[in-house]
A and B are shown apart, each in its own frame.
Chain A
Amino acid sequence: MQDTGVHLREVRKSFGAAEVIRGVDMDVRRGEFAVFVGPSGCGKSTLLRMIAGLEETTDGKIVIGDRDVTDEDPVDRGVAMVFQSYALYPHLSVYENMAFSLRLAKRPRAEIDEKVREAAGILQLIEHLDKKPGQLSGGQRQRVAIGRAIVRAPDVFLFDEPLSNLDAELRVQMRLELARLHQKLGATMIYVTHDQVEAMTLADRIFVLQGGHVQQSGAPLDLYDDPSNRFVAGFIGSPSMNFFDAVVEAQTGQGVTVRLTGQPDLPLDIVLADPPAPGTEIVLGIRPEHLAVTDGEGLRVTVDVAEELGGVSYQHGTLEGGDAVIFQQIGARHEMHGTVQTVVPEPGRAFAFDRSGTRIR
């Protein structure tokens, strides 16, 4: 099977004077499920539309498989796209929506019928083939949009926030269906979302975008366990990581001892290969699940909101200095709302960042 990966080299995009994609390099390998994730305005949708050919590439090179497609028309790129709005043709039946591209390509009637029915079978749309999009539910419309992409048998599937118009329950269900579909088809897929849970659950490889740059890319858990900067650390993980200002007190053999600003009672040992000098101001990042309630010395948190989800609970509160803190409790169901709790970070689970946000390792 030929290489159907997607490769971007120094890709840039400007709208007038505003540069929204500022030199992106990436490799999505054949059959990989890649997810572009980032806050609104980070350029992830623009990047996807550039791969689709719906936006011109200002500079750089886009290669699909072994073909340079930078200046090719959308139809010649071997990609199919599923739009956030589904973009179904409202005047055509489900069948005709899915058959549209094949009809334009003047394929034989029997072939069209076979392909449409096959896709409809995969997506459980057989009994809806004669309906118009207006008669379908959101989830069904979404499936038609996916079916329209499947019928074209593209090398690369592109999804632009496909689940964001669905309600929460359906979103979870469609997420699973997409994962199964990817296993079944084995095609290269690129998926854009602002929802990091979707990114974590679907992706083989996540590309975190912000400000027109790829901040970090890698397997979901690699990003979670080893973020390369403060933005990625804060963006991946829900609820997001706690950040505390801290000062390096002394260098130890394996790292440094730091104290949080406003929390002079608690020295923390951080393991670092390249420890900064004493007196350096750093930022410490600790995930909510790595803060454990203790009876001894620790950070005193006044809990003001407790989110009890049954299995886990998230306790939102403030430190004595006023910094916001979230910590997670599993199984335990004590009424922490309004109480003061003492928590300590699990050893070895804190990340250190310099003031500009770069990870200190």
Chain B
Amino acid sequence: MSKSNRRRRELRTAALLTAPFLILFSVFFLYPTYKVIALSFTDSPLIGEGNWVGLANYVELFNDRLFYTSLWNNFYFVLLTVIPTTVIALLIALAVSRLKGRTQALVLTMFFLPYVLPVSVVTMIWSWMLDFQFGILQPLIEAVTGKPVPVFKNPYWVMPMIAVVTIWWTNGFNVLLLIAGLRNIPADLYEAAALDGATPWQRFWRVTWPLLWPVTALVLTLQLILQLKIFDQVYLLSGGGPFNQSYVVLMQMYREAFQLNNGGYASAVAMVLFVLIVVVSILQYQLLRIGGRK
């Protein structure tokens, strides 16, 4: 068999093997992405053609006060979730990794359980628990503040409480990642450190923390991306209110597209968020990697 013949056969196999992914990727990701970019330069409604308007949507967006409110709310939410959830997950992972065998598996399952719930169930559970009149958590709130609080209707409480719900919901996954990271640290390093005279505190800061850093950086980055995309919990718990205090970028995109029928404008919102997430997450990951190498 000739060389070119063999090469052609190899190419055919390669094409055959990559085709399923390429087709799915093109149909469900590449084409929609192209469509969003194209839409964001038009004044089209959600369905149907529109006219080319150039950068008009973006100009309007950057003069839209509500957009800045939602952008700020997004960052506020990131602040409330990303580092707290990582710290909590790390503490839980450290505690769980001290357990042995079945107890460990059981406890880990319990921490992971909320993660398998659909968001609608999670928000239902929490809106009941925090119900102004009947919620079982209201006595706790009353004990601290002196009176019951309708948390999802209170401008100061709404974002922190959505953050609490989100952390409760997604923390199990981070715990799992960090446990895997902890298991990768050889036990004899801790024994060597004990012989070298390290206290438990020093063992954590000088052995565990630096060796776990790649996983911690990964968790932080995944969380950042995830929490910038906050939508479901806000939509289900507060609807963006009160007084737009929980109005986030994707909420705005949703309303423009599906309620106000402004497909072009909504696409511009989506594009800005997309670019923002890419830039911020790349920036963060690079910063974290440099921090880890030091």
Contact = CB atoms under 8 A, between A and B. Distances in A.
Contacts of A81: 191-192, 195
Interface string B141-157: 00000000000000000
Nearest to A105: B197
Interface string B101-145: 000000000000000000000000000000000000000000000
Interface residues of B, number: 16
B197 A101 contact: yes
B192 A87 contact: yes
Interface in A65-114: 73-75, 79-81, 83, 85, 87, 89-91, 100-101, 104-105
A75 B196 contact: yes
B282 interface: no
Interface in A40-78: 52-54, 73-75
Contacts of A290: none
Contacts of B192: 81, 83, 87, 89, 148
A141 interface: no
Nearest to A158: B195
Nearest to A81: B195
By secondary structure, the B interface counts as helix
A83 B197 contact: no
A101 B188 contact: no
A80 B211 contact: no
Nearest to A149: B195
B53 interface: no
B50 interface: no
A80 B195 contact: yes
Contacts of A87: 186, 188-189, 191-192
A104 B189 contact: no
B242 interface: no
Contacts of A89: 189, 192-193, 206-207
B206 to A, nearest CB: 8
Contacts of B206: 89, 100, 104
Given A85-B188, A87-B191, A101 B211 contact: no
Interface string B190-210: 011111111000100011001
B195 A75 contact: yes
A152 interface: yes
A83 B191 contact: yes
30 contacts: A52-B195, A53-B195, A54-B194, A54-B195, A73-B194, A74-B194, A74-B195, A75-B194, A75-B195, A75-B196, A75-B198, A79-B195, A81-B192, A83-B188, A83-B191, A83-B192, A85-B186, A85-B188, A87-B188, A87-B189, A89-B189, A89-B206, A90-B211, A91-B210, A100-B196, A101-B195, A101-B197, A104-B198, A105-B197, A152-B196
What 7 A-B pairs have minimum CB-CB distances, sorted nearest first?
Answer: A101-B196, A75-B197, A87-B192, A87-B188, A91-B210, A74-B195, A104-B197
Given A81-B195, A91-B211, A104-B197, 16 more contacts: A52-B191, A52-B195, A54-B194, A75-B197, A81-B191, A83-B192, A85-B188, A87-B186, A87-B188, A87-B189, A89-B189, A89-B207, A91-B210, A100-B206, A101-B195, A104-B198
